[in-house]
Amino acid sequence: MIEATVAIRLETEDKKGNLKVKNIKEHYLVDTDVITVAEKTIHNMYKNSEYEWEITMLKKSKFNEVINVENYVNKIEKSSNNELLLD
Give domain status of residue 86, yes or no: no
Count other Cβ atoms within 10 Å, centred on residue 81: 5
Give domain status of residue 87, yes or no: no
Give domain status of residue 13, yes or no: yes
Percent of the chain with pLDDT over 90: 62
Tens digit of pLDDT for each residue in 46-66? 999 999 999 999 999 998 888
Which residues constitute the domain of residue 29?
2-62
Residue 80 has pLDDT above 70, yes or no: no
Q: According to DSSP H, which parts of 1-87 are helical?
A: 35-46
CA atoms of 19 and 7, how far apart (whole Å): 19
Range among 12-16, 24-28, 65-69 rated most confident:
24-28
Percent of the chain with pLDDT over 70: 82
Give domain status of residue 81, yes or no: no
Give the pTM: 0.71
Give domain status of residue 80, yes or no: no
**Counted domains in the chain:** 1
